Amino acid sequence: MIHPTAIIHPKAELGPDCEIGPYCVIGEHVVIGRGCFFHSHVVVDGYTRLGEANEVFPFTALGLKTQDLKWRGGLTRTEIGDHNTFRECVTVNSATEAGEVTVVGSHNHVLAYSHVAHNVKLGDYVVMSNAATLAGHVTVENHAIIGGLAAVHQFCRIGKMAIIGGCSKVVQDVPPFMLADGNPAETRTINKVGLERNGVSETAQTALRQAYKILFREGLTTSNALVRIEQELPHLAEIEHLVAFVRGTERGISK
């Protein structure tokens, strides 16, 4: 179903069972998968591909040109997976350099006025609350939650199942399974509620709590803390992921 006021370029590709509401605009190089629902006043442009069953609310703009002043032209892309929700006035920008891509995974819930900037890599099952902002080149791992009005600095990483409190200013990486809050954000404790909701075992939760204390409460350097964690804690998948994430940081971790 396509509303008669919608403007769709003849070369755009729409999958079956899509519903395109009033005053939507879809550009020439856009590919939209099966069963997507655009409410009204949605703009999708650039070399943008959406998967199946995405729901997009009014005044959202997907795949438009980066806001990065380094942009010098060239073909950049935006890739969006399946079963995402983009609420009112969300913006997802295309990448900056030719050949690069902004990536949004699947099953994400991106609430009103949120912004996903150029070259972001957004995983699966992520929640961005109202007016959450990701700057360029940010990576967000699966099942993370970013609170309302929170802002994440360029090149930062948000770890798996991490949660960021509302109005936080994130200028360094937030380790997986942790709760960060403040301006600038500091890691406060493990994300106990998120771990329980995602079925993480009590054994792993206990180990993560011990890892948190070693990393953030014992005054050790990060490298020494990681050695202690590897020596003293059980070899669980969650602990190994935490250690690998922290060891791979380039901006440091939010302490």
Structure confidence by residue, pLDDT tens digits, 79-100: 999 999 999 999 999 999 999 9
Per residue in 149-163, pLDDT tens?
999 999 999 999 999
pLDDT per residue of the chain (255 residues) written in tens, 0 to 9 = 999 999 999 999 999 999 999 999 999 999 999 999 999 999 999 999 999 999 999 999 999 999 999 999 999 999 999 999 999 999 999 999 999 999 999 999 999 999 999 999 999 999 999 999 999 999 999 999 999 999 999 999 999 999 999 999 999 999 999 999 999 999 999 999 999 999 999 999 999 999 999 999 999 999 999 999 999 999 999 999 999 999 999 999 999
Residue 151 in contact with residue 171, Cβ under 8 Å?
no
CB atoms within 10 A of CB 77: 17
- CATH code, 196-247: 1.20.1180.10
- 62 near 56, Cβ under 8 Å? yes
Asked if 119 contacts 137 with a C-beta cutoff of 8 angstroms, the reply is: yes
Q: Is 48 helix (H, G, I), strand (E, B) or coil?
A: strand
Q: How, if at all, do strands 37-38 and 139-140 pair? A: unpaired
What pairing do the DSSP bridges indicate for beta strands 185-190 and 178-182? antiparallel
Asked whether 235 and 221 are in contact (CB, 8 A), the reply is: no
Domains of the chain, by residue range, sit at: 7-137, 196-247
CA angle (128 as vertex; 29, 154 as ends), nearest 5? 75
The domain made up of 7-137 has a fold known as: UDP N-Acetylglucosamine Acyltransferase; domain 1 (2.160.10)
Element spanning 210, H or E: helix 202-216
Q: Average pLDDT over the chain, rounded to whole?
A: 98
Question: Do the Cβ atoms of 178 and 187 come closer than 8 Å?
Answer: yes
